[in-house]
Amino acid sequence: MLKDKINFKKIIYYVVLIFAFTLPLSRAAISLFIILLPLLWILEGDFQKKYEQIKSSKLLLAILFFLFFSILSITWTEDLTLGMKGLRLDMYLLSLFVIATSIKKEHIQSIITVFLLGMFISEVIAYGVFFELWTFKNATVQNPSPFMMHIDYSVFMAFTSLLLLNRLFANHYELKEKLVYVFFFLTVTGNLFLAIGRTGQVAFVVGVFVMSIIHFRITLKSMLISTLLLSSIFTVAYNVSDTFKVRAHAGLNDIQKISDMNLNNSWGIRVAYYITTYDIFKNNPIVGVGLGDYKDQTTLMLETEEYPYLNINQKNL
């Protein structure tokens, strides 16, 4: 049979390599690969083995349950447009099943390396925009994100920084390789704090502590390394990047407003969602409110007399 002559594992490996490279460079390519990879995975077959692999992984089972419940919740959501948008983003997780069951462990590092190469190209473009060497699409000096929204880009940069930090902590890379990783780490972390996305910056801080604990366990050494690294990065960023300085002061101002229960700011809106989540869950404990209805339900909760102490303009939700 033709199927028996096709090496689907090799095809999937090369497709995942291209996917990893284009992940930070093209949103259209991501949509293509999110469809292509599951199709190749199905054509590959060997479902019994894949079933056993998925069943033995608590993480994959949790993701599978999450995806199943997300799809199911579309049937009772009222805001179908927002629900389908959320479901489309959730479908990106399907690629994890392909990688976990069809990619050999020894290929993971090469996939990460190709992803880092794609991020490096993205970073070069971003720095060129920041230093006004060229223009690129909708990227600006204030927001030099070349291919995606600033929040998404900041998360990608934080993830890249942590991947590089992991390689710097590892002991199986040669000195010349580590020098390259040090340079890349400094530039991508610098880019992270030049951008306006605070989500990635917060993720980076948490990730550094987690990475230190993974490599050095919970010790005085791990805490010192994390604190010194973050202190150095934040000090340099605050003194070099006007964008980071402005965003840092804005964040402190948001925190002050939140302490006064004024939630009319980006962080305050998140707090409003956190506060109302408990009552929304309490009123809908079994199936929730549907993937696309969280905004409408939060608005309804704020219109009740349960939260008279919150000062928030519901149009900002």
Q: Tens digits of per-residue pLDDT, 83-110?
A: 888 888 888 899 999 999 999 999 999 9
Q: According to the model, what pLDDT value does residue 38 have?
A: 92
Average pLDDT over residues 280-307: 79
Mean pLDDT of the chain: 84
Residue 3: pLDDT band with limits 50, 70, 90: low
- Percent of all residues in the chain with a pLDDT value above 90, rounded to a whole number: 29
Q: According to the model, what pLDDT value does residue 250 have?
A: 77
In the predicted structure, residue 317 carries a pLDDT above the cut 70: no
pLDDT digits (tens, 9 = 90+) for 66-84: 999 999 988 888 888 888 8
Q: According to the model, what pLDDT value does residue 314 have?
A: 60
Q: According to the model, what pLDDT value does residue 311 have?
A: 64
**pTM check: above 0.85:** no
Return the HEC string of the chain. Answer: CHHHHCCHHHHHHHHHHHHHHHCCCCHHHHHHHHHHHHHHHHHHCCHHHHHHHHHCCHHHHHHHHHHHHHHHHCCCCCCHHHHHHHHHHHHHHHHHHHHHHHCCHHHHHHHHHHHHHHHHHHHHHHHHHHCCCCCCCCCCCCCCCCCCCHHHHHHHHHHHHHHHHHHHHCCCCCHHHHHHHHHHHHHHHHHHHHCCCHHHHHHHHHHHHHHHHHHHCCCHHHHHHHHHHHHHHHHHHHHHCHHHHHHHHHHHHHHHHHHCCECCCHHHHHHHHHHHHHHHHHHCCCCCCCCCCHHHHHHHHHHCCCCCCCECCHHHC
Q: According to the model, what pLDDT value does residue 313 have?
A: 64
Q: According to the model, what pLDDT value does residue 75 have?
A: 87
